[in-house]
Structure 1
Amino acid sequence: MKKMLSFVLLLSLAACTRNLSDNMMNDSAALSERIAASRLSIDTPALVTVVEESGVWKLKRNGQNYIVKGVAASKSINADPGYYLTMLESFSGNTIRTYSVTEYTQDILDAAYANGINVCLGLWVNREADNFDYNDTAAVQLQLQNLRDQVLAYKDHPALLMWGIGNEADASYTNLKLWDAVDDIAAMIHTEDGNHPVTTMLVNSDQAKIAAIKSRAPNLDILSINMYAPNLPNVLGNLQAAGWEKPYMITEFGPRGTWQMNPEPSRILPWGGLVEQTSTEKAEIYRSAYNQHIKANFINGCLGSFAFVWGYQTHGAVRTWFGFHNTEGRSFGAADIMKRVWSDWYPANRAPEIVSRNNMTLQGQHAEDAIYLTNGTQYAAAVVAADPDGDPLVYEWTIVPEGGAGPGGGPHPGLPGLILANGNANVSFTAPAAGAYRLYVYVKDDHNKVASAVIPFFVQ
């Protein structure tokens, strides 16, 4: 393992290079002290088991029942894992999942350990969709050896909870030898590490696929599904119909994905822009998804879940679609909801709320109205927001090009010179050059919380 000093230096570098709030910097300094204080037991791995008791599957960590109250980790946490993992602890989360071993893995594990957070450590598995050939035995064997090296490097870290073999390696796959390779990886992990269970993350809960996994990958301890709002209710039934007899987890969940909009044509605008929910609407989806299809199934083999995504989104068609934070590190109402469903309590201070898309207008029209503007003309927009705690609110409006990304792949920071009057619930702006855009409003309180709403528009 690397010396803990390397993590402290990384946090110092991150503080100099990222535009994060003063609170984030202070939290990073405090984290360094907590890591130093815990260093004496850093080499003691946890014993994690999967057991069936009275017909109910349970996950146990060092003999204690453990429900995964987790989040998928965005790449945005890499520069300052201490801030985001300290915040996760404050919201009553207990686990994160990563997607691959990178130069940041050690730092994330160390920060997680210092905050009482455990890690489902991702091992990246090549995809047939990315031209990897599972008939190429030499390439498959090399992948296995590389993953063995990664397992040996991190198997004794005390923050490690389990291993995640691949992420959606089954996307558009055709070769069933994928599952032979996954089983070989799982068997290797059991040989090299007797302390932690193994799972793999699927793109859906297709019954034929699950039946093939059951037959060809018996070394998996848990099956994991990435599933979003419209199809999440189908997971348990599909697992049961396919004859899956081991436990499962939901390893990504959240609002309807940008790739799932076709069933609702009114939400896809004529130029291809997607109508996005407000942060408050998204929060309610996390609530219902967790309560109805995760927590309700703890007695049916579900060991927990990972909400998508902790930090801010760094890929996808619309970079604000998912994400529990904005680029400043402020948390949205979805984080408050996760605190509520994980602990039965809201945080002491809650995020501002924009109850519905109808609470934001552009020239009196709403997001679904397919709004066309004229280049160089001035327009007006407005939003209705409220704060559950009565905090003072500041309104930040910005215009971004459709599909545009900002530095590091995150949300676009906004085009300069277009907003004529900012800071209030009403705004005036000048329409940019011809093309597709999104008008955002971020409503901020004085407790590091934020709400958002958006209207797409097209300039002719």
Structure 2
Amino acid sequence: MKLFVKVIVSILFICLVGFFALISYNYTQRPDYKSSEKTVHIVKYNNKFTLIRNGQPFEIKGAAGDSNIKMISEIGGNTLRVYDTVNIKNILNEAHDSNLAVILDIPLPRYDKDYFNYEDENYQKNLKKSIQDLVNRHKNHPALLMWNLGNEVDFPFSILGNGFTNTYNDLVNLIHESDPNHPISTTITGRRSNIFSLFFFSPKLDIYGFNTFGALYELDDRFSTLGPINGKFPFYLSEWGSNGPWENGTTSWGVPIEPFSSEKAKQIEQNYKLVEGYNKTNCVGSLIFYWGNKQESTHTWFSLFDENDLKSHQIETLLNLWNVSTTNPKRFHINHIKINNQAIVDSLILNRGDTAKAQINLSYHGDSLKRHDLTYKWELYPEAWQYQFSDNQVKPKKVAGYIVEDLKDQIIFKTPKKEGPYRLFVTIYDTDNYFATANLPFYILEKL
């Protein structure tokens, strides 16, 4: 028995020594963050990281999305993050014409324990070939700022590596070899385990991007618990904005309660104060999300534009925060939206086929904006609640023919005949074609 214990202890000791030897070796492989002749690189001086582009310090201040590219520059931004490589040459050209730098995402299939593509040699070979071709096509474009390898990568903690980690590190090496002039980042949600894994097991990554919204205030606490690696890596806020669906309350049937756009504008103001604070540490900039229109829980939650590319009031808020304008973006404030005089969104249950009344209540700022200056658009959709957190979501089909009487800031409508969850939206446009939004989820039950 004593011999057995000694053998086990010896094995554990050897494993521990091997682990620390691997960690030490990987640490030596990390970027040196020294000044160079590269087009874009990161330097560290007096414990502060700085992004250098074309020989000059460059602070990322821009947006993540795919539309209205020129407007980013017009309101004071300098960077666009692009998620999709479709039509990327035209996007790079338009960004360059608008004096914008581009962070170009390289999409990767999500890794999990039940997903074995990364164990397939042919899959790995084809993936590497396609990424190398992409890099070679665009590495010399003057708008390119950096490559972002994978969005919200769930990087596994694997000492000896596995199909994913080995492929990922091969891709990092491949991109560096093909394009030594631009840094490589990846974007994560800021979990400590991911930070540790990337730091020690993918040491040649140049910079990390954090997608974080209402949890911005937690980043400092997370960094403080990273021990000796705290302050050893540069980062940027690759997505920030108003609070996300996972950060809000839900109804009794489990769908998130979306803030009115007036509340989102306030959240953006509050979160930007945190953004500015991080820019004074090891952060090299930030990107607001989402510069375009997309379905994520709803089609209005993160969308800074509508489907016709008209601007939300949050963009005016951003315009002020970026010190381009001193106008008051709060043209009006949404107080509440009610159905049958109810605004208790966590338990709004209606009978199917009934007649109901919905109304929106606003507060107006100043004498110039009157009630008749606004246009109201009411829409009813089934709830998009079948998606998992990481799914690509599709906007549900709008319910047609439900409005009985449209009275602008209120409507009389027929409730749907099919049981289930729904959401009533109202979009309010002003005379400058800015808009605000509110919605109210409810559940349809058969009459008892």
2:356 is aligned, of 371, 379, 394, to 379
1:69 is aligned, of 57, 61, 66, to 61
**What is the alpha-carbon distance in structure 1 between the residues aligned to residue 56 and residue 330 of structure 2?**
33
Secondary structure of the residue that 2:280 maps to in structure 1? Answer: helix
User: Per-residue CA shift, 1:384-415, capped at 9, x if unaligned?
Assistant: 2356573421111111111189xx96645732
- Is the counterpart of residue 151 in structure 1 residue 135 in structure 2? yes
**What is the alpha-carbon distance in structure 1 between the residues aligned to residue 239 and residue 60 of structure 2?**
12
The 5 Å alignment of 1:30-429 reads 47-73=39-65, 77=66, 81=67, 84-102=68-86, 104-129=87-112, 131-170=115-154, 173=156, 176-177=161-162, 178-202=164-188, 204-229=189-214, 231-242=215-226, 243-244=229-230, 245-261=232-248, 267-292=249-274, 294-314=275-295, 316-343=296-323, 345-346=325-326, 350=329, 352-356=331-335, 359-386=336-363, 388=365, 390-391=368-369, 392-403=373-384, 411-412=395-396, 414-422=398-406, 424-429=408-413
User: Per-residue CA shift, 1:305-335, capped at 9, x if unaligned?
Assistant: 1222111113x33332211011121111221
User: Per-residue CA shift, 1:21-65, capped at 9, x if unaligned?
Assistant: xxxxxxxxxxxxxxxxxxxxxxxxx92221123332111221222
Aligned 8 A contact 1:395 1:422 in 2 = no
Q: TM-score, normalised by structure 2?
A: 0.80
For these two proteins, the number of residue pairs brought into alignment is 391
After superposition, the Cα gap between the structure-2 partners of 1:240 and 1:270, relative to the gap in structure 1 and judged at 3 Å, is closer
User: Any stretches of 5+ residues in structure 1 without a counterpart?
Assistant: 1-45, 262-266
- Higher Rg: 2
After superposition, the Cα gap between the structure-2 partners of 1:349 and 1:283, relative to the gap in structure 1 and judged at 3 Å, is closer
After superposition, the Cα gap between the structure-2 partners of 1:302 and 1:317, relative to the gap in structure 1 and judged at 3 Å, is same
Give 2:225's aligned amino acid.
Answer: A
**What is the alpha-carbon distance in structure 2 between the residues aligned to residue 369 and residue 162 of structure 1?**
43
Aligned 8 A contact 1:180 1:216 in 2 = no
Aligned 8 A contact 2:157 2:197 in 1 = no
Deviation at 1:200, TM superposition (A): 0.6
**What is the alpha-carbon distance in structure 1 between the residues aligned to residue 263 and residue 236 of structure 2?**
24
Deviation at 1:296, TM superposition (A): 0.4
Give 1:200's aligned amino acid.
Answer: T
Q: TM-score, normalised by structure 1?
A: 0.78
Aligned residues: percent identity?
Answer: 27
**What is the alpha-carbon distance in structure 1 between the residues aligned to residue 138 and residue 365 of structure 2?**
43
After superposition, the Cα gap between the structure-2 partners of 1:404 and 1:259, relative to the gap in structure 1 and judged at 3 Å, is closer
User: Any stretches of 5+ residues in structure 2 without a counterpart?
Assistant: 1-37, 387-391
Deviation at 1:295, TM superposition (A): 1.1
**What is the alpha-carbon distance in structure 1 between the residues aligned to residue 134 and residue 324 of structure 2?**
37
Aligned 8 A contact 1:85 1:112 in 2 = yes
Secondary structure of the residue that 2:384 maps to in structure 1? Answer: coil
RMSD of the TM alignment (CA)?
2.6
Aligned 8 A contact 1:58 1:66 in 2 = yes
**What is the alpha-carbon distance in structure 2 between the residues aligned to residue 351 and residue 332 of structure 1?**
11
Deviation at 1:249, TM superposition (A): 1.1
After superposition, the Cα gap between the structure-2 partners of 1:146 and 1:296, relative to the gap in structure 1 and judged at 3 Å, is same
Write out the 4+ residue segments of structure 1 that deviate beyond 6 Å after TM superposition.
none
